Chain A
Amino acid sequence: MNQQIEPVTGRDLFRQHFEEVEDRFSSNGQSWFMNTRKAAFARFTELGIPTRKDEAWKHTSLNPFNEVEFRPSDVSDVDSKALLEGIVFHNWKAHRVVFQDGQYSEGNSAINNLPKGLTIVSLKEAFSTHREVIEEHLASYAGEDENEAFVALNTALHEDGLLVMVEKGVVVEDPIHLIYLTTSHAHPSSTHPRTLVIAEEGSQLTLIERYAGEEGSVYFTNAVSEIVLGENAHFDHYRLQDESPQSFHIGTVQIEQGRNSRYRTHAISIGSRIGRNGIAAHLDGEGIECVMNGLFLTQDDQHIDNHTRVIHAQPHCYSHEVFKGILDDHSSGAFTGRIIVKEGAQKTDAIQSSKNLLLSDDATISPDPQLEIFADDVKCTHGATIGQLDTDAIFYLRARGIDEQSARGLLTFAFANEIIEQIKIEPLRDYLEAIIARRYRKGAL
Chain B
Amino acid sequence: MAIIEIKNLHAQIEGNEILKGINLTVNAGETHAIMGPNGSGKSTLASVLAGREEYEITEGEVLYHGKDLLDMDPNERACEGIFLAFQYPVEIPGVNNSYFLKTAVNAIRKHRGEEEIDPGDFLTLLREKMKLVHMDDKFLSRSINEGFSGGEKKRNEIFQMMVLDPTFAVLDETDSGLDIDALKIVADGVNEFRKDPKKAAIVVTHYQRLLNYIVPDFVHVLVDGKIVQSGGKELAFELEDKGYGWIEIEPAPAHA
Contact = CB atoms under 8 A, between A and B. Distances in A.
Given A410-B100, A414-B95, A445-B103, A401 B78 contact: yes
A415 B94 contact: yes
B104 A401 contact: yes
B100 A400 contact: yes
B92 A411 contact: yes
Contacts of B160: 400
A31 interface: no
B90 A401 contact: no
Interface string A407-420: 10011011101100
A374 interface: no
Given A406-B103, A406-B107, A410-B100, A398 B90 contact: no
A392 interface: yes
Contacts of B90: 390, 392-393, 395-396
Contacts of A397: 92, 100, 104
Nearest to B54: A391
A401 B75 contact: yes
B73 interface: yes
A78 interface: no
Nearest to B94: A414
A407 B100 CA distance: 10
Interface string A178-201: 000000000000000000000000
Contacts of A418: 94
Contacts of B111: 401
Contact of B164 (A401, A403, A411): A401
Contacts of A402: 75, 103-104, 107
B209 interface: no
A406 to B, nearest CB: 7
A288 B75 CA distance: 50
B84 interface: yes
A406 B51 CA distance: 17
Given A393-B92, A400-B160, A410 B51 contact: no
Q: Which of A397, A400, A445 has the most CB of B within 10 A?
A: A400
A429 B53 CA distance: 36
Interface in B66-99: 73-75, 77-79, 83-84, 86, 89-90, 92-95
Given A414-B93, A418-B94, A395 B103 contact: no
Given A395-B52, A395-B74, A400 B92 contact: no
A400 to B, nearest CB: 4
A404 interface: yes
Contact of A398 (B74, B94, B100, B144): B74
B108 interface: yes
Contacts of B104: 397, 400-402
A414 B92 contact: yes
Interface string B9-46: 00000000000000000000000000000000000000
Contacts of B83: 399
A417 B143 CA distance: 12
A418 B100 CA distance: 17
Contact of B108 (A393, A401, A413, A414): A401
B86 A396 contact: yes
Contacts of A398: 51, 73-75, 78
B89 A396 contact: yes
A232 B102 CA distance: 44
B50 interface: yes
A434 to B, nearest CB: 16
B47 to A, nearest CB: 8
B76 to A, nearest CB: 8
Given A392-B90, A396-B86, A396-B89, A403 B95 contact: no
B123 to A, nearest CB: 18
Contacts of B144: 396
A389 to B, nearest CB: 11
A157 B105 CA distance: 57
Contacts of A407: 75
Interface in A115-171: none
Q: Which of A413, A414, A415, A445 has the most CB of B within 10 A?
A: A414
A187 to B, nearest CB: 44
Nearest to A416: B94
Contacts of A396: 86, 89-90, 92, 144
Nearest to A412: B94
Given A396-B89, A398-B51, A410 B95 contact: yes
A392 B111 CA distance: 23
B193 to A, nearest CB: 16
Nearest to B78: A401
Interface string A366-391: 00000000000000000000000010
B126 to A, nearest CB: 14
Nearest to B47: A395
Q: Which of B50, B89, B94 has the most CB of A within 10 A?
A: B94
A401 B51 contact: no
B74 to A, nearest CB: 4
Nearest to A405: B75
Q: Which of B75, B79, B101, B144 has the most CB of A within 10 A?
A: B75
A236 B209 CA distance: 58
A418 B93 CA distance: 9
A417 B95 CA distance: 9
Nearest to A444: B107
Given A406-B103, A410-B95, A415-B94, A401 B52 contact: no
A411 B103 CA distance: 13
A85 to B, nearest CB: 29
6 contacts: A398-B73, A399-B77, A399-B83, A413-B95, A414-B94, A414-B143
The 3 closest A-B CB pairs, nearest first, are A414-B94, A401-B78, A398-B74
Interface of B: 50-53, 73-75, 77-79, 83-84, 86, 89-90, 92-95, 100-101, 103-105, 107-108, 111, 143-144, 160, 164
Given A393-B90, A395-B50, A401-B105, 17 more contacts: A395-B53, A398-B51, A398-B75, A399-B75, A399-B84, A400-B75, A400-B101, A400-B107, A400-B160, A401-B164, A402-B75, A403-B73, A407-B75, A410-B100, A411-B92, A414-B93, A415-B94
Interface of A: 390, 392-393, 395-404, 406-407, 410-411, 413-415, 417-418, 445
